[in-house]
A and B are shown apart, each in its own frame.
Chain A
Amino acid sequence: MKITTIIFIIIALTGSGLGLAAGTRYELRVDGLACPFCAYGIEKKFTRTEGVESVEIDLKNGLVIVNTSEGKKFSEDQLKTIIDDTGFTLRSVSVKPR
Chain B
Amino acid sequence: MPANEMKSKINRAMWVILGTSVLISAPGGVVLAHDPVFGIGPHVLFKNGIEVSTHLEQEKAGLEKESELALELVYGITGDWAAGIELPYSSKDDGVKSSSGQSDIRVFTKYRFWREDSLGLQESAAVMLAVNLQNGDEKEDPPLGNGATDVIAGLTYGYEGLKWYRWASARYLVPGENSSGLRLGDQWLVDLVGGWRPAAPDYLKPDTVWLLELNGEITGRAELNGTSLVDSGGTEWFVSPGIFWTKRNFALKAGIQLPVVSDLNGSQDKSDYRIKASFELHL
Contacts and interface: CB of A to CB of B under 8 A. Distances in A.
B211 to A, nearest CB: 13
Contacts of A43: 203, 248
B167 to A, nearest CB: 13
Interface in B22-58: 33-34, 43-49
A85 B78 contact: yes
B268 interface: no
Given A35-B201, A36-B202, A60 B162 contact: yes
A62 B119 contact: yes
B249 interface: yes
A85 B81 CA distance: 10
Contacts of A34: 120-122, 160-162, 201
A36 B244 CA distance: 12
Contacts of A84: 79
Given A44-B49, A45-B46, A87-B44, A36 B203 contact: yes
Nearest to A89: B117
B79 A35 contact: no
Interface string B256-270: 000000000000000
Given A32-B115, A32-B122, A34-B120, A59 B162 contact: yes
Given A85-B78, A87-B80, A41 B120 contact: no
A41 B49 contact: yes
Interface residues of A, number: 28
Given A41-B45, A57-B203, A85-B78, 11 more contacts: A31-B117, A31-B119, A34-B121, A34-B160, A34-B162, A39-B203, A40-B46, A41-B282, A60-B120, A87-B79, A87-B112
Interface of B: 33-34, 43-49, 76, 78-80, 112, 115, 117-122, 160-162, 200-205, 207, 246-249, 251, 282
29 contacts: A31-B119, A31-B122, A32-B117, A34-B162, A34-B201, A36-B205, A36-B246, A37-B246, A37-B248, A37-B251, A38-B34, A38-B160, A40-B249, A41-B49, A41-B76, A41-B282, A56-B203, A58-B203, A61-B119, A62-B120, A84-B79, A85-B46, A85-B78, A86-B79, A87-B44, A87-B79, A88-B117, A89-B115, A89-B117
